[in-house]
């Protein structure tokens, strides 16, 4: 199957996996292995507070995955810029998952500060993956600034509500044909991931749905299969929907070997 394209990086897996909230370090490592992901997200503060015996970071390095640092918790463009610059030095990568939160209860992005931060980061050579709303105008502005990957929310972070507005996702796919679209936030079950992929999204970023499952590694494997299935379904193109039934076996020109006289 074709690869997921993130700027100049190509990945075999279409799942990006978060590294927070797991019940244990072992559970996180097992989930990463089961998911077969090639990129994990890491909050900068975990590295800063890890110290020389940072077993978390050692585990991430041993996984062999690419690291996508994020600006989780930032509320202004200036704060996000500071975190992104530090992340570039610590993780030795130009990739950054840009989050600028505008509300403490919904954790929705502040799109005004987000666009401001994205412009500066792109001008400074960062490869920005912005966590944003599913609003077409906001997404288009980010694309116009130079973002080649857009990560709209399916629903509130950690809510597990799934994709609450599929029509917006359809619109984004139809209007942003050449942009990599990854659903970020709100996914709760593998069926949510299937829907995202069937709507034409290129990938899924997960954290809570896997980490808070009773069996994170098993759930990670379930999502792996779901994402692959949804992508294949999108490429295969579904049958047309109809208002009325249509017989799968037409009667016209059908031979009847047992006729009633």
Note the pLDDT tens digit of each residue in 144-181: 999 999 999 999 998 899 999 999 999 999 999 999 99
pLDDT tens-digit readout, 6-40? 999 999 999 999 999 999 999 999 999 999 999 99
Please say if the pLDDT value at position 259 is more than 70: no
DSSP helix/strand/coil, 212: coil
User: Global pTM?
Assistant: 0.88
| pLDDT mean over 220-238 | 96
Parallel, antiparallel or unpaired: strands 203-206 and 15-18: parallel
User: Residues 43, 72: contact at Cβ < 8 Å?
Assistant: yes
pLDDT band at 250 (very low <50, low <70, confident <90, very high): low
> Who contacts 11 (Cβ-Cβ below 8 Å, separation ≥6)?
3, 4, 38, 39, 66
Residue 185 counted as an annotated binding residue: yes
Residue 230 counted as an annotated binding residue: no
User: Residues 208, 158: contact at Cβ < 8 Å?
Assistant: yes
Please say if the pLDDT value at position 53 is more than 70: no
Average pLDDT, the chain: 90
Report d(CA 231, CA 229) in Å as an integer.
5
Please say if the pLDDT value at position 247 is more than 80: no
pLDDT band at 1 (very low <50, low <70, confident <90, very high): low
Please say if the pLDDT value at position 261 is more than 70: no
Please say if the pLDDT value at position 211 is more than 70: yes
High-pLDDT (> 70) share of the chain, %: 91
pLDDT confidence of residue 238: 87
pLDDT confidence of residue 58: 80
Report d(CA 116, CA 57) in Å as an integer.
31
Please say if the pLDDT value at position 74 is more than 70: yes
Report d(CA 15, CA 232) in Å as an integer.
14
Residue 165 counted as an annotated binding residue: no
For 11, list phi and psi in degrees, rounded to 5: -125, 145
pLDDT confidence of residue 148: 97
Whose CA is closest to 223, among 206, 241, 242, 248? 206
| pLDDT mean over 227-255 | 83
Active site residues: 97
> Who contacts 101 (Cβ-Cβ below 8 Å, separation ≥6)?
73, 74, 75, 107, 108, 109, 110
């Amino acid at each position: 199957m074709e690869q997921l394209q993130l700027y100049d990086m190509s990945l075999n897996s279409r799942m990006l996996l978060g590294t927070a909230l797991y019940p244990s370090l072992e559970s996180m490592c097992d989930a990463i292995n089961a998911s077969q992901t090639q990129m994990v997200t890491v909050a900068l503060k975990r590295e800063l507070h890890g110290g020389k015996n940072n077993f978390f970071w050692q585990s991430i390095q041993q996984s062999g995955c690419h690291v996508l640092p994020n600006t989780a918790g930032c509320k202004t463009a200036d704060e996000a810029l500071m975190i992104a610059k530090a992340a570039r030095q610590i993780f030795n990568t130009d990739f950054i998952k840009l989050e600028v939160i505008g509300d403490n209860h919904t954790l929705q992005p502040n799109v005004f500060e987000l666009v401001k931060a994205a412009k500066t980061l792109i001008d400074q050579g960062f490869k920005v993956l912005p966590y944003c709303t599913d609003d077409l105008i906001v997404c288009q502005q980010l694309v116009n600034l130079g973002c080649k990957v857009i990560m709209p929310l399916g629903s509130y972070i950690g809510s597990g509500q799934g994709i609450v507005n599929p029509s917006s996702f359809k619109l984004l796919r139809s209007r942003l044909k050449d942009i990599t679209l990854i659903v970020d936030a709100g996914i709760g079950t593998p069926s949510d991931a299937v829907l995202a992929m069937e709507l034409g999204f290129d990938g899924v970023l997960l954290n809570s749905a896997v980490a808070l499952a009773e069996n994170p590694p098993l759930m990670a494997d379930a999502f792996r299969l779901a994402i692959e299935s949804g992508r294949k379904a999108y490429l295969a193109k579904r049958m047309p929907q109809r208002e009325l039934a249509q017989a799968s076996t037409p009667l016209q020109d059908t031979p009847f070997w047992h006729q009633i006289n």
